[in-house]
Amino acid sequence: MTAALDNLENILFARDGGVATITVNRPKVLNALNSKTLDELRRVILACRHDESVRCVIITGAGEKSFVAGADINELSVQTPTSGREHAVSGQHVLDLIENLGKPVIAAVNGFALGGGCELAMACTIRIAADTARLGQPEIHLGIIPGYAGTQRLARLVGRGRALELLLTGDHILAAEAYRLGLVNRVVPAAELMTEAGTLATTLASRAPVAMRYIIDAVNKGLDMAFPDAQVFEATLFGLVSATEDMREGTRAFLEKRKAEFKGK
């Protein structure tokens, strides 16, 4: 993992046991995602995927104002049809890596999560928002549309009608409204955000890693399948996880009335 973390300028990385924390660190521009930041995020996420000792990841933004306030407008303003498509595909690739990491990723939304920032949060497994956070997809105000799969993930999270209203108005919504719509999982006082995220991350890091990966796969891939096909996929994963050492340890620990010690095997 060390090589992947060399020469990072816009991303901070920290470890606490099995929990890795990734911080987008461009507070002077409200942590806007430019191409360099996206590439650094890609490198760090891949490093977390390949490091078996990382069991859970937290993503947040530096400072108190912003999680990620969007993409870098200076870059967006000069896009051509070809470069614009490539830019969108590149961003989608990074967010797909996060969504399909096979380990839970918690978005600790500490402020503005707008445009690309909202898209980044939606790619995470679970979203915890500070009560001061504001979320939205304001691209319509720039004469553009979301490019990092925001139209797709938002509709899947909150439903077609609510997603279209947010996308077409470009309105920001408060954390409480985001919770009501199902866009975030929890809302906590801003001062407690990272403690809450850390507590949840520690809990998730103690769970069986293989089962965790299969659950994420079953939900992410199953939602795009016909229900009968998704059932078959789930049953196949159930069969695979039944052959793991973690399954034997988990069932044995339950019967012996002790805490299971999962190895990810």
State the Cα–Cα distance between residues 62 and 111, nearest whole angstrom.
10
Distance of CA 69 to the CA centre of its chain: 15
Query: Which is nearest to 12 in space by CA: 49, 58, 53, 52?
Result: 58
CA distance 43 to 7: 11
DSSP-assigned states of every residue in 106-146: EEEE-SEEETHHHHHHHHSSEEEEETT-EEE-GGGGGT---
Instruction: Record the tokens describing residue 65, joined without a space.
Output: 């104002």
**Helix, strand, coil fractions of the chain, as percent rounded to 5:** 55, 15, 30
Catalytic residue among 139, 177, 234, 256: 139
One-letter amino acid at 189 equals P
9 in active site: no
Query: Can 139 be counted among the known catalytic residues?
Result: yes
Residues with Cβ < 8 Å from 217, sequence gap 6 or more? 100, 102, 237
Q: Which of 75, 119, 234, 245 is catalytic?
A: 119
- What Cα–Cα distance (Å) separates residue 111 from each residue in 9, 78, 144? 21, 27, 23
* Token pair recorded at residue 164: 């279209």
Active site residues: 119, 139
